[in-house]
Amino acid sequence: MIDLHTHTDQSDGSDSPPRLVQLAAAHSLEALAITDHDTLAGYDLAAPDAHEAGLELICAIELSTRVERQPGAPRSPSIHLLGYFPDRPPDAGFRDWLSHLQQSRYARNVSLVDKLQSLGIDISLEEVRALGRNLTGRPHFARVLLAKGYVRNTQEAFDLYLADNAKAAVEREEPSVWEGVRRIASAGGLAVLAHPVRLAAEERAGLDGFVESLIDEGLAGVEVFHSEHCAADVDRFLRIARKFSLVITGGSDYHGDNKPGISLATGRDGNLSLPYRLIEEMRTYAERVASI
Ligand code: AMP
Ligand code: ZN
Ligand code: FE
Ligand code: FE
C-alpha cells in the first residue's frame, strides 16, 4: 500500500515529519508522499529518516490556488493542486517562488491578527506561529481561538471569524490554478487536481472543460482516490482521468490528530487501499512527457 497525500506539522498536520515516517514504516507502506500546504519543509525534514528506514519518500506539495471570478462576485473557494516530483525535488526557482507565497501569507497573517484584535480578541502573531512553524494558516488561528475560549470548536472559529466571508476575513494573494499547474510542470513535476469533490459548483458543473483548460497548462493527473470520495465520486473522476489520459493518484489526506477519523493509507473507515502501481504509472507518464 502507498499514500500519496499526507500532511505534517510543517503545515496543518499534527505529526512531525520523522513521526510520520515512523508511522508509515510501522504500517509497512511501500511509499509515502508528504504533501504539505505550500511548503516542501515536511519532505525536506523527513527525507533523512525515510532513507534510514528504507521507506520510499516522494517529494510533493499541495498548493492553494484560486480562479478569478467576475468583479464583485464572491471569491472562489481555494482550489488545491498536488505537485509530485518522483525523480528529483524541484529546483531553486520553484523554492524561490514558494518563499514569495510565504511572504504573502505572512502579510495576510499580520492583517488577520490586527483584524481579530480590533474585534476585541487577545491574540498575537507569535502564538499562532508557534503552532504553524513553516506555514501558519487559518487552521492555526482557529486552534488559538479555541484554546482561549473564544469559540466552542474550530469550525465555529471559521464560521464566526476566519472563513472567506466571516468577520475577520482577509484576502491573500494566491496564484491562479493555471499558474500553479504551470509552476509545477515547469519545475519538472506532475501537477494533479486534488480532491475534485471539493471544487466549487461552477468548476464541478463544467468539470471536463475546466480540466481541459488545466491540461493546456500542463496538468498531469487527477486525484481519483481520496478519503472524502464516495464510490460515485471515484467513478466520475476515474472517467475524467481516462477520458484525458491523465495519471490517477490517491491518498488519505492524513492530518494526524488535526483531522480525526482519517487514517494514514486507509483513509476513512478503511475506504482506501492504493497499490504501488500508481507510482509506476506516474513515472511512466513523467518519462513520456520528458521525451516529447
Ligand atoms: P489558509 O491557507 O491559511 O488560508 O487556510 C486554509 C485552510 O483553512 C483550508 O485548507 C481549510 O483547512 C481551512 N478552512 C478554510 N475555510 C474554511 C471553512 N469555511 N471552514 C473550515 N475550514 C476552513
Ligand atoms: Zn491541510
Ligand atoms: Fe487539500
Ligand atoms: Fe491535503
Domains of the chain in start order, with CATH, are 2-93+189-291 (3.20.20.140)
Q: Cα(138) to centroid of ligand 1, in Å?
A: 6
Strands, DSSP E only, in 234-287? Answer: 247-251, 262-263, 267-268
pLDDT at 271: 97
Mutate-to-test residue for ligand 1 from 105, 138, 153, highest number of ligand atoms within 8 A of CB: 138
CA–CA gap between residue 225 and residue 230 (Å, rounded): 9
Say which residues have a Cβ less than 8 Å from residue 154's Cβ, sequence separation at least 6: 139, 142, 143, 145, 146
For residue 77, the ligand 1 atom closest to its alpha carbon is 16
For residue 137, the ligand 1 atom closest to its alpha carbon is 3
Q: Cα(255) to centroid of ligand 2, in Å?
A: 7
Q: Cα(283) to centroid of ligand 1, in Å?
A: 32
- Segment holding 144, helix H or strand E: helix 138-147
Q: Cα(140) to centroid of ligand 2, in Å?
A: 11
- Segment holding 204, helix H or strand E: helix 201-205
Q: Are 80 and 194 in contact (CB under 8 A)?
A: yes
pLDDT at 72: 76
Ligand with smallest separation from the Cα of 35: 4
Query: Which residue ranges of the chain lie beneath pLDDT 70?
Result: 132, 134
Selection from 157, 241, 198 nearest residue 64 by Cα: 198
Q: Cα(153) to centroid of ligand 1, in Å?
A: 14
Ligand with smallest separation from the Cα of 78: 1
pLDDT at 134: 67
Q: Which residues surround ligand 1 with Cβ inside 6 Å?
A: 64, 137-139, 155, 158, 163, 172
Q: Cα(149) to centroid of ligand 2, in Å?
A: 23
Q: Are strands 219-226 and 190-193 parallel, antiparallel or unpaired?
A: parallel
Dihedral sign for Cα 279, 280, 283, 284, please: negative
For residue 109, the ligand 1 atom closest to its alpha carbon is 3
Ligand with smallest separation from the Cα of 141: 1
Cell 509545477 found at: 184
pLDDT at 54: 96
CA–CA gap between residue 205 and residue 104 (Å, rounded): 31
Strands, DSSP E only, in 50-90? Answer: 56-65, 79-85
Ligand with smallest separation from the Cα of 138: 1
Predicted TM-score (pTM) of the model is 0.92
pLDDT digits (tens, 9 = 90+) for 164-188: 889 999 988 889 999 999 999 999 9
Give the burial class of 90: count Cβ atoms within 10 A of its Cβ; 0-12 exposed, 13-18 middle, 19 or more buried. Answer: buried
| Cell numbers for 253 | 489526506
